[in-house]
């Protein structure tokens, strides 16, 4: 078994290999400037020993090299804000206590020194990676085009005349082109032929389930019921009704073993072929329907334009024009009565989907009412019964202990999971919703329905606490929210740029201006990895009795992590969909903004169990499975 080796002073210490979950956690702590010396050595060892981890690290550095690593999780009272253009200048809020200035300036100096140290470490790590890349290329361990590394390494090696003669004949840019051609040649062998553009009520064969939006390569598709719509890259569309058995052969050819379908072909798609057990149908423009029975015999009905049909492989092709139909038997082509009825249409899918959405929306509304009436629910934003002009998201919770309605800053009302449901769209740097939840809580549950449309930075905010003075700097709601004695412990629930949820809790340490950061990351379930543009149900619970933090996605528990510390958490001032930043922080590239749509938020002061989380997903999911 491979073991990573880390340097510790002059001794070499053999440590356990790092796994993906630990690596993600260490990267998160690196971003938050919370790495201990031991954790720093673990991260360095992982990057040294694994090409996969080096690729992840390089990508993170490339995208986020300008992040302000010095940012504190919380700002005690009126903590200073450093001007990145001049580190000697300190921006003080107007209400700064003069007695705090010496200690704050001392802290600013400490932070500044820490930035310099981290910058030096990053430069050292980058240099180390370049040396590794150089050695890999020279020794034949890396191939041209590997993750863009060879272009850098080959430029250095060429100038030093250390590459083998065979490689010296190619300039660096030529190597990249050659590598691209190689990748293209490989991708052509497994290229995507079509995409599932729509589906309603599809019941897939066991173990063969697909999702709307999934790209398809050559191979079979089998389902027992429902309507399936495929868009081929050649310009053809196939709408099938189950039970059906298909086989994708190329972007211009599909075989139907059984089932019925309608084929629509645009100008670029002329020549699209549909094969059956007894026939070959070639479209000459527009649309036709085809039905294949269990014995493999087929019927073709031409709705518009023309098709050519022949019995395979010996017979000649015969052309059939619109409003005609033919039945293909083993021995002959026989004309039959033409009919538009019975074949699946794109319009039928849209009609069934609208009916399905209406039913699901009504079922969710009834279920949402029961959540709002739960006495443990502090906040329930359903985004329902609201006008486009409303400046607040109403809290539908009926409990005696509850949070406020949410004040909308720039986020726009839009369509939610269903056409009749509202949600809020977050797009700009300043888009957010501000709210307060009074009191301290040791057990908590959080659930939100969100559609991330893009990941523009390393972390995207779902729900975060904010220091009231900082919140006042940007929100300026009520003066009492700026009470300097308000709690400063922190709760941060975010999504990574790989759509993996992370919860971080910060507790005030005994030393001023220091915090104990506890991070809990959800498991990297395969179904979570490609969620861009799709609705998902994200949940997290904090259970102090079991000392567990549990993450949920679409009704399923994705991870359970033992808590490192148990302490009542004050939520108080919070932001949904973003986190406030100062001008200096924004200039340095810091951003937490969520880019997408949120249309429900639940906060409760008890722990939701797995059954409840599954029910929230089942009643709230957009479509029937």
Residue 141 has pLDDT above 50, yes or no: no
Predicted pLDDT of residue 67: 36
CA separation for the pair 416, 148 (Å, rounded):
40
- What residues have CB less than 8 Å from 327, skipping those under 6 apart? 297, 298, 299, 333, 334, 335, 336
Share of the chain above pLDDT 70, in %: 67
Contact criterion met (CB below 8 Å) for 68 and 81: no
What is the DSSP secondary structure assignment for residue 214, as one 8-state letter? -
Q: What is the mean pLDDT of residues 245-274?
A: 93
Question: Class for domain 194-344, per CATH?
Answer: mainly beta
Q: Which residues in the chain are classed under CATH 2.60.120.200?
A: 351-620
Structure tokens at 219: 């191979």
Residue 472 has pLDDT above 90, yes or no: no
Q: Sheet of 515-521: strands edge to edge?
A: 392-393, 406-409, 432-441, 569-576, 459-465, 490-496, 501-508, 515-521
Tell me the residue ranges of DSSP E strands in 312-426: 318-321, 324-328, 333-335, 377-381, 392-393, 406-409, 412-415, 422-426
Output 463 or 477, whichever has higher pLDDT: 463
Predicted pLDDT of residue 317: 87
Q: What is the mean pLDDT of residues 114-124?
A: 53
Task: Assign 22 to helix, strand or coil.
Answer: helix
CA separation for the pair 283, 12 (Å, rounded):
70
Residue 46 has pLDDT above 60, yes or no: yes
pLDDT band at 509 (very low <50, low <70, confident <90, very high): low
Residue 99 has pLDDT above 80, yes or no: no
pLDDT band at 615 (very low <50, low <70, confident <90, very high): very high
Predicted pLDDT of residue 284: 82
DSSP string, 521-568: E----GGGSS-TTS-EEEEEEEETTTTEEEEEETTEEEEEEE-S----
In the Cβ-directed half-sphere of 2, how many Cα atoms lie within 13 Å?
Answer: 8
Q: What is the mean pLDDT of residues 53-76?
A: 52
Question: How confident is the model over 376-417, as pLDDT tens digits?
Answer: 999 999 999 999 999 999 999 998 889 999 999 999 999 999
Predicted pLDDT of residue 84: 35
Predicted pLDDT of residue 58: 72
Residue in 288, 295, 297, 285 with CA at minimum distance from that of residue 339: 288
Residue in 153, 173, 179, 147 with CA at minimum distance from that of residue 59: 147
Question: How confident is the model over 5-43, as pLDDT tens digits?
Answer: 333 333 334 456 788 878 877 876 776 566 787 788 888
Question: How confident is the model over 522-563, as pLDDT tens digits?
Answer: 865 544 556 788 999 999 999 999 999 999 999 999 999 998
Predicted pLDDT of residue 289: 95
Q: To the nearest whole number, what is the mean pLDDT of the chain?
A: 76
Question: How confident is the model over 334-387, as pLDDT tens digits?
Answer: 899 999 888 999 999 999 989 999 999 999 999 999 999 999 999 999 999 999
Output 11 or 502, whichever has higher pLDDT: 502
Residue 107 has pLDDT above 60, yes or no: no
Predicted pLDDT of residue 60: 66
Q: Which residues in the chain are classed under CATH 2.60.120.1440?
A: 194-344
Residue 147 has pLDDT above 80, yes or no: no
Predicted pLDDT of residue 507: 66
CA separation for the pair 225, 204 (Å, rounded):
8
Question: How confident is the model over 372-386, as pLDDT tens digits?
Answer: 999 999 999 999 999
Structure tokens at 585: 């922080």
Q: Does domain 351-620 have CATH number 2.60.120.200?
A: yes
Predicted pLDDT of residue 381: 98
């Amino acid at each position: 078994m491979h073991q990573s080796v880390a340097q510790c002073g002059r001794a070499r210490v053999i440590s356990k290999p790092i796994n993906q979950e630990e690596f993600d956690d260490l990267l998160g702590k690196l971003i938050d400037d919370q790495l201990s010396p031991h954790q720093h050595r673990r991260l360095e060892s992982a990057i040294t020993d694994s090409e996969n981890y080096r690729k992840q690290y390089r990508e993170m550095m490339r995208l986020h090299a300008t992040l302000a690593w010095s940012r504190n999780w919380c700002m005690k009272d009126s903590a200073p804000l450093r001007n990145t253009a001049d580190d000697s200048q300190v921006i003080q809020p107007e209400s700064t206590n003069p007695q705090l200035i010496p200690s704050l300036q001392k802290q600013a100096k400490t932070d500044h020194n820490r930035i310099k140290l981290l910058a030096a470490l990053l430069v050292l790590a980058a240099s180390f990676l370049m040396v590794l890349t150089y050695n890999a290329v020279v020794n034949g361990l890396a191939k041209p085009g590997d993750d863009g590394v060879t272009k850098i390494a080959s430029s250095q090696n060429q100038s030093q005349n250390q590459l083998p003669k065979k490689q010296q004949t190619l300039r660096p840019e030529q190597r990249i082109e050659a590598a691209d051609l190689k990748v293209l040649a490989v991708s052509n062998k497994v290229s995507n032929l079509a995409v599932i553009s729509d589906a309603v009520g599809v019941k897939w064969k066991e173990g063969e389930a697909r999702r709307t939006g999934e790209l398809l390569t050559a191979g079979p598709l089998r389902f027992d019921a429902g309507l399936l719509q495929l868009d081929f890259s050649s310009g053809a569309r196939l709408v099938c009704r189950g039970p059906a058995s298909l086989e994708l052969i190329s972007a211009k050819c599909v075989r139907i073993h059984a089932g019925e379908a309608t084929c629509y072909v645009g100008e670029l798609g002329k020549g699209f072929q549909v094969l059956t057990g007894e026939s070959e149908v070639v479209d000459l423009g527009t649309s036709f329907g085809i039905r294949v029975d269990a014995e493999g015999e087929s019927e073709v009905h031409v709705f518009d334009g023309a098709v050519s049909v022949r019995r395979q492989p010996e017979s000649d092709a015969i052309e059939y024009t619109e409003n005609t139909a033919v039945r293909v038997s083993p021995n002959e082509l026989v004309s039959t009565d033409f009919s538009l009825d019975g074949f699946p249409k794109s319009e039928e899918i849209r009609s069934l989907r609208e009916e399905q959405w209406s039913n699901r929306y009504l079922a969710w509304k009834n279920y949402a009412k029961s959540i709002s009436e739960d006495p443990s629910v502090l906040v329930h934003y359903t985004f329902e019964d609201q006008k486009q002009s409303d400046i607040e998201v109403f809290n539908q919770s009926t409990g005696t202990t509850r949070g406020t309605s949410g004040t909308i800053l720039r986020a726009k009302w839009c369509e939610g999971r269903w056409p009749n449901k509202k949600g809020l769209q977050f797009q700009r740097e300043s888009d957010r919703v501000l709210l307060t939840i009074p009191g301290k809580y040791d057990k908590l549950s959080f659930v939100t329905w969100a559609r991330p449309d893009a990941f523009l930075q390393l972390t995207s905010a779902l729900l975060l606490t904010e220091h009231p003075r900082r919140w006042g700097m940007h929100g300026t709601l009520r003066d009492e929210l700026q009470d300097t004695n308000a709690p400063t412990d922190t709760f941060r629930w975010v999504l990574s740029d790989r759509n993996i949820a992370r919860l971080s809790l910060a507790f005030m340490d005994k030393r001023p201006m220091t915090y104990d950061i506890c991070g809990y990351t959800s498991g990297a379930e395969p179904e979570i990895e490609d969620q861009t543009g799709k609705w998902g149900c994200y949940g997290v619970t904090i259970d102090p009795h079991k000392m567990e933090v549990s993450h949920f996605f679409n009704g399923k528990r994705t991870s359970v992590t033992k808590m490192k510390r148990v302490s009542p958490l004050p939520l108080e001032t919070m932001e949904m969909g973003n986190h406030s930043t100062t001008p200096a922080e924004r200039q340095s590239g810091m951003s937490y903004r969520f880019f997408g749509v949120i249309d429900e938020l639940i906060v409760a002061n008890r722990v939701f169990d797995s059954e409840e989380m599954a029910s929230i997903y089942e009643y709230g999911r957009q479509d029937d499975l």
